[in-house]
Chains A and B, each alone.
Chain A
Amino acid sequence: MTWETKSTAAPDSTTIIRGLVSAKRVPLGSEIYNRLLETLYDEAAALDERRFDDWVAMLTEDLVYQAPIRLTRTGPNRDRDVMRTMFHFDEDYGSIQMRTGRLEKSAWAEDPPSRCRRFVTNVRIGECDAAGEYEVVSYLFLERSRGDSPDNESATAERRDVWREVDGAYKLSRREIIVDQSVLGMSNFAVFL
């Protein structure tokens, strides 16, 4: 992957792309839509229930999993607010395995574990150029209860995914998590989004 550093101030360091790019829409209610929606629900359940092996089994080995940071901008660049030069998550398949492996040992951040609910909505799907690959855009609302605190921590994000059909099931090969906060209110991302 080539890498060119851009200054924080440079307008072209931020990009606007979010939402669905594909023009070939997979209509709501179609069989593929329903199966992908079911897959998103299954994925959320695997993560909420901390079944990390089940989750990793839903990922492809060429996975790219990133959460760019957001910046508040004004004027002509007011909508260019997704910083793809810096990330909260910048993962590949190996680093995800490193993270899930750690969660089974001494990861005090999740031991005791937080109790999470991932609400997945506003799912829009399009076909990618590659056969059997689908662009899946969803909203994520994560509620996280920790320790004896009665106040949940929460995060909202848009997820721009690519899911690939492998042996009759869909696997996640690309996820960009566009969180809404420029300053996160959650004290860490020891959980996956």
Chain B
Amino acid sequence: MLQKSKLTLRDGTSLDDLIKRESNEVSLRVMTDEELYHLEMDKIFAKTWLLLGHESEIPNSGDFIVRDMAEDNVIVARDREGNVNVSLNVCPHRGMRVCLGEAGNKPIHQCVYHGWAFKPNGDFIGAPVEREKMHGNDVDKATLGLKKAKVALYGGMIFATWNVDGPSFDEYLGDIKYYLDQLFCRTDNGLELLGPPQRFVLPCNWKVPGEQSGSDGFHTLTLHRSLMEGGVMGGTAESIYDQAPGMYGVDVSCEQGHSLRCLEAEKTFKMFADVPFEGKSTRERLELLTPPGITKEMIPELFNNLSEDQVEQLATIPPQVGGMFPNILIAFIFAPRTDGGASGALSLHTYVPKGPDKVEFVNFIFAEKDAPEQMKRDMLQNAVWNTGTSGMIEQDDADVWPVIMKNARGGVSKDVTLKYQALHGHERPEGWKGDGLLYPGFTKDDTQWNWWMAYYDLMDEV
């Protein structure tokens, strides 16, 4: 018997009425409920680690970018010591934004309203007309800094949390780190962001794209049918459901709600290089099918940065798509180019809540810092063609989500449930080296259900 949720909404609805753990269902009402949204701001977005950008966006002392942690606007700035700081972009004097630009370089951030000034690390410097003590007669300056978030860097990516005493970044990652390393921490000089993110707003709740980022593999066959029609995923338009390309692999997940879909390189990339892996060593496999985004010359770097087991997995059955709880999608795509070649694309999205019925889609596009210029150029173009604003894959997602949102408003429709009843159950494939919750075979609902359970656990915390 599961313990009852401690969370009850004002109208008496329990979290258990909305997220039905016994039958693996979630009521559509979770997408529209305003009270739930405000609780999420406190219990999720003020508690978990959130992705804000990449170190390569602010290489120099004084460099800054402005980003959002849900509806809280923050300054992400590098100080003179070289550290990355994240502080609330709200002047503690009268609540104005201290920083009005989205990016630049400033040794001092001065509020345009009354002129209070702050260091890149958020510390209060002073208010104008120092002799008049306009910051208060007996107030200690040390208490007047911008509110600071705790920062963690991972593969150069900047994460922050308001939960200063909460789980460490490694605890937040859990068992998924082993797999994420293969994408983000595999070369000597790491990734760089190719430009500031694409940003656009969709009229839907953040959880509509959020639950999909829990590795919904199944939708690809139907919603992204044009991939098969265009030959991008292998298979043909007539045989999509028979062959089910890209559906078989190993889905990995963890109780923190993160997940990734690992697909066999030999099968996935068959249309680019039809080479059997049987009897081949890890190194030979890497030479035959070099992971998208790196060059053959960079292969030795993989062994510098990853364990033998991690490299073997990357060469054989690499993680390709997935997400990190609560609002990150990871898409590592390999697709043909119009010039006859093929290129990888690495995009991360954050789905930033902007109200119960609005979400900002932020699309970060990466390449390896040491990749040749042409490879970076190709990675950028492939990411733009397939993901984000105009992406031929994701424009279809952006079309579906607002419609689900519309449905969630109906008095009757709101009680319809999202169903996660196609479950495989944890099963460790033979010879599998990584940890976590493992689901081999056809992609099922397990990882998305784990996403909802991570949501449930945080919402249930008092």
Interface residues of A (CB under 8 A from B): 1-11, 13, 67, 69, 71-75, 77-78, 83, 85-95, 97-99, 101-102, 105-109, 147, 182-190
Indicate whether B18 reaches chain A with its CB closer than 8 angstroms: no
Q: Which residues of B contact A184 (CB under 8 A)?
A: 199-201, 389
Q: Which residues of A contact B377 (CB under 8 A)?
A: 1, 3
Other-chain contact of B395, A5, A11, A190 (Cβ < 8 Å): A190
By Cβ-Cβ distance, the 7 closest A-B pairs, closest first, are A86-B195, A94-B338, A85-B195, A9-B63, A74-B101, A184-B200, A8-B57
Question: Would A102 and B226 be within 8 Å (CB), given that A77-B104, A109-B396, A184-B199 are in contact?
Answer: yes
Residue of B nearest to A80 (CB): B104
A-B contact pairs, 20 of them (CB 8 A): A3-B376, A5-B376, A6-B195, A9-B58, A9-B64, A10-B105, A67-B390, A69-B199, A75-B101, A87-B195, A89-B384, A90-B384, A90-B385, A95-B381, A98-B230, A98-B392, A102-B229, A102-B392, A105-B230, A187-B202
Interface size on B, residues (CB 8 A): 60
* Proximity bits, B396-415, A CB within 8 Å = 1, else 0: 10111011000000000000
A106–B102 Cα distance when bound, in Å, is 37
- Across the interface, do A8 and B338 meet the contact criterion of CB distance under 8 Å? no
* Chain B residues numbered 368-390 whose CB sits less than 8 Å from any CB in chain A: 369, 373-374, 376-377, 380-381, 384-385, 388-390
* Proximity bits, B169-210, A CB within 8 Å = 1, else 0: 000000000000000000000001111111111110000000
A186–B395 Cα distance when bound, in Å, is 11
- Across the interface, do A3 and B373 meet the contact criterion of CB distance under 8 Å? yes
A183–B373 Cα distance when bound, in Å, is 28
- Across the interface, do B195 and A8 meet the contact criterion of CB distance under 8 Å? yes
A5–B195 Cα distance when bound, in Å, is 7
A7–B60 Cα distance when bound, in Å, is 9
- Across the interface, do B381 and A90 meet the contact criterion of CB distance under 8 Å? yes
- Across the interface, do A109 and B100 meet the contact criterion of CB distance under 8 Å? no
List 12 extra interface pairs beyond A7-B60, A77-B104, CB under 8 A.
A1-B377, A3-B373, A7-B58, A8-B65, A9-B60, A9-B63, A72-B101, A73-B102, A75-B101, A86-B365, A87-B384, A106-B225
- Across the interface, do B373 and A4 meet the contact criterion of CB distance under 8 Å? yes
Q: Which residues of A contact B197 (CB under 8 A)?
A: 86
- Across the interface, do A95 and B195 meet the contact criterion of CB distance under 8 Å? no
Other-chain contact of B389, A6, A95, A188 (Cβ < 8 Å): A188
Q: Which residues of B contact A78 (CB under 8 A)?
A: 101
Q: Which residues of A contact B59 (CB under 8 A)?
A: 7, 9
* A93–chain B nearest beta-carbon distance, Å: 8
Which of B53, B58, B194, B390 has the most C-beta atoms of chain A within 10 angstroms of its own C-beta? Answer: B390
* A165–chain B nearest beta-carbon distance, Å: 26
A109–B381 Cα distance when bound, in Å, is 20
- Across the interface, do A86 and B100 meet the contact criterion of CB distance under 8 Å? no
Indicate whether B79 reaches chain A with its CB closer than 8 angstroms: no
Other-chain contact of B390, A7, A72, A182, A188 (Cβ < 8 Å): A188
- Across the interface, do B226 and A107 meet the contact criterion of CB distance under 8 Å? yes
Q: Which residues of A contact B376 (CB under 8 A)?
A: 3, 5
- Across the interface, do B102 and A71 meet the contact criterion of CB distance under 8 Å? yes
Indicate whether B394 reaches chain A with its CB closer than 8 angstroms: yes
Q: Which residues of B contact A5 (CB under 8 A)?
A: 56, 192-195, 367, 369, 376
Q: Which residues of B contact A83 (CB under 8 A)?
A: 195-196
Q: Which residues of A contact B395 (CB under 8 A)?
A: 107, 109, 188-190
Indicate whether B103 reaches chain A with its CB closer than 8 angstroms: yes
A20–B380 Cα distance when bound, in Å, is 28
Q: Which residues of B contact A186 (CB under 8 A)?
A: 200
Residue of A nearest to B403 (CB): A147
Indicate whether B153 reaches chain A with its CB closer than 8 angstroms: no
- Across the interface, do A187 and B402 meet the contact criterion of CB distance under 8 Å? yes
A74–B192 Cα distance when bound, in Å, is 25
Question: Would A99 and B392 be within 8 Å (CB), given that A8-B196, A94-B338, A185-B201 are in contact?
Answer: yes
Indicate whether B11 reaches chain A with its CB closer than 8 angstroms: no
Q: Which residues of B contact A109 (CB under 8 A)?
A: 395-396, 398-399
A7–B193 Cα distance when bound, in Å, is 8
A23–B376 Cα distance when bound, in Å, is 35
Residue of B nearest to A9 (CB): B63
Indicate whether B339 reaches chain A with its CB closer than 8 angstroms: yes
Q: Which residues of A contact B402 (CB under 8 A)?
A: 187
* Proximity bits, B48-74, A CB within 8 Å = 1, else 0: 000001001111100111000000000
